[in-house]
Amino acid sequence: MQQIFKFFLNLIPRTVLIRLSYLVRPFVAYFLRGEKYTDPIDGNSFRKFLPYGYEKVRENVLSPSTLSLERHRLFWLYLKNETAFFTKNLKVLHFAPEQAFYKRFRKMKNLEYTTTDLNSPIATVKADICDLPFEDNAYDFIICNHVLEHIPDDTKAMQELYRVLAPGGTAILQVPYDADRSTTFEDNTITDPKERAKIFGQYDHVRVYGMDYFNKLAEIGFKVEALNYSAKLSEEEMNTYRLAKGELLPVCKKLVD
């Protein structure tokens, strides 16, 4: 099962996968309905979740209804329980919008919601994260999850994120990171896609972030909290929502001068 799943992930372009998922998702969700696990984003429950992963396939992590992964569900719970995201009037910029959030955020009347990406078929503004077409201090809340590991010049991208974030604003900048690695690793001489996938976790990743990721964000100017939000949840919640224990949320603030 893992090999079949991995084969299709690598064979089909991601833009096509996104479109196909809209057609397949309702049938899979119906087939897997049950009571054991719950997706907190839509409240639907299932007897199991789907596997997901490129080099290392993780079992029971992909929600059949929203297609959310562990990181999406943790982020949702943080937004819901710890912020005023669902009630306060906010200008929001969302990079590479995830299907789990896109339609929900777009319908929220308190949000002025803008999505952007170079390649995503559901992004409204086609833009390079290293050269954004937005004014300084334009957005109260920025969501940029699992994007920076694809960007060769991540320093420039971080600077642009900081530039367009309003003073007093918040940016959530999740990336895949290795908690056992102190220093970020990248090597542009590795060009074979299979070798890159083996080393970086995905063929189109350009680095493996270490724990210095949070320091780099701080050097850009953000006030950074590496928030272990899962520590606030019970073991029952962690299991029911299928979350990754100890995953850190990079909660980045731009201080008011």
21 has pLDDT over 80 = no
Q: What is the pLDDT of residue 32?
A: 82
7 has pLDDT over 60 = no
CATH number of 71-253: 3.40.50.150
Q: What is the pTM of this model?
A: 0.88
Angle at the Cα of 163 (from 157 to 169), degrees rounded to 5? 110
| Of 138, 137, 142, nearest in space to 85 by CA | 142
Q: What is the pLDDT of residue 193?
A: 87
Backbone torsions φ then ψ of 255, nearest 5 degrees: -70, 150
Q: What is the pLDDT of residue 55?
A: 73
160-182 residue pLDDT tens: 999 999 999 999 999 999 999 99
116-125 residue pLDDT tens: 999 888 899 9
Share of the chain above pLDDT 70, in %: 88
Where do the structural domains in the chain lie, given as residue ranges?
2-68, 71-253
Please tell me the number of Cα atoms within 13 Å of 50 on its side-chain side: 21
Distance of CA 30 to the CA centre of its chain: 25
